[in-house]
């Protein structure tokens, strides 16, 4: 993407660490507080294209449940324990096996998005890893220089043809989701071999993938903690990612109006 909120907040964190004189510290803190309040008021106007958050009150309550309780006391410690204590070869085998299950859905969605090259790559990876990689436990395809392209979900395919994200929801434990993504996940679950999974097997797949993803986010926790409004930061970053995926991985041309305000915020913090 041309410019992102994440990049801007990275710059904010860097600039906020600049040296300040004792006489200016209180004034700068007051200015930053006022700026944060103005920022929150502005970004709630849905400056990121495709954002629709009609249940924001409920979503914020669920966000607080996730962020203040479920994540620090359940998801984070469990994920780190999994990464720290499960042998790496075992984790790699599980990750490869679960990733291989998604390849047919990736192939079909690549076809829908008119990307024949990626569709062929996903197909080749699936049959090679399934036949020669012990049902996908070993990533033979990557070893054969058949690198996995980006994931393609049916929600991305819908977005590719102009279907909007729809309402945004914050779900306990699960996290953010839009109506388009939820519907897309349901359709993807109808493809072989995902359609062979029972409810509990699907839940296990989600849990193992979720633990890997959560552990990988530890290094980025400071960004969320220091953002003007963690809820809005998460929502906007999520929607921007979905917009990006819906383009087939091409850069999004538009620049959110909030970026102009973030430039002003950077200037004020730097002064």
Helix residue spans in the chain (DSSP H): 5-16, 22-43, 56-65, 76-85, 88-101, 103-112, 116-132, 140-143, 154-160, 179-188, 199-216, 221-226, 230-246, 257-270
pTM (2 decimals)? 0.73
Cα 14 to the center of its chain, rounded Å? 23
Q: What is the pLDDT along the chain (271 residues), one digit of tens a residue?
A: 334 434 333 333 333 333 333 444 443 444 444 444 444 444 456 678 889 999 999 999 999 999 999 999 999 999 999 999 999 999 999 999 999 999 999 999 999 999 999 999 999 999 999 999 999 999 999 999 999 999 999 999 999 999 999 999 999 989 999 999 999 999 999 999 999 999 999 999 999 999 999 999 998 898 888 889 999 999 999 999 999 999 887 655 544 444 444 454 444 444 4
């Amino acid at each position: 993407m041309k410019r992102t909120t994440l990049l801007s907040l990275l710059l904010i964190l860097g600039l906020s660490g600049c040296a300040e004189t004792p006489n200016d510290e209180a004034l700068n803190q007051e200015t930053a507080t006022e700026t944060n309040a103005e920022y929150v008021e502005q970004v709630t106007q849905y400056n990121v294209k495709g954002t629709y958050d009609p249940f924001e009150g409920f979503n914020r309550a669920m966000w607080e449940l996730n962020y203040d309780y479920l994540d620090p006391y359940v998801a984070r410690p469990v994920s780190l324990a999994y990464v720290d204590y499960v042998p790496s070869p075992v984790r790699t085998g599980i990750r490869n096996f679960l990733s291989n299950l998604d390849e047919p859905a990736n192939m079909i969605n690549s076809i829908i998005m008119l990307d024949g090259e990626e569709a062929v790559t996903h197909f080749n990876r699936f049959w090679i890893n399934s036949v020669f990689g012990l049902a996908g436990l070993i990533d033979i395809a990557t070893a054969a220089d058949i690198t996995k392209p980006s994931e393609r979900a049916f929600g991305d395919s819908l977005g590719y043809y102009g279907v909007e994200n729809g309402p945004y929801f914050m779900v306990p434990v699960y996290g953010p989701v839009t109506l388009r993504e939820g519907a897309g996940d349901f359709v993807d679950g109808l493809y072989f071999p995902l359609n062979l999974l029972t409810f509990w097997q699907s839940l296990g797949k989600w849990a193992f993938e979720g633990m890997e993803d959560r552990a990988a986010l530890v290094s980025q926790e400071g960004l969320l903690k220091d953002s003007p409004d963690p809820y809005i930061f998460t929502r906007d970053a999520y929607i921007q990612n979905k917009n990006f995926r819906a383009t087939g991985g091409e850069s999004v041309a538009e620049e959110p109006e909030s970026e102009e305000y973030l430039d002003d915020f950077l200037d004020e913090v730097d002064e």
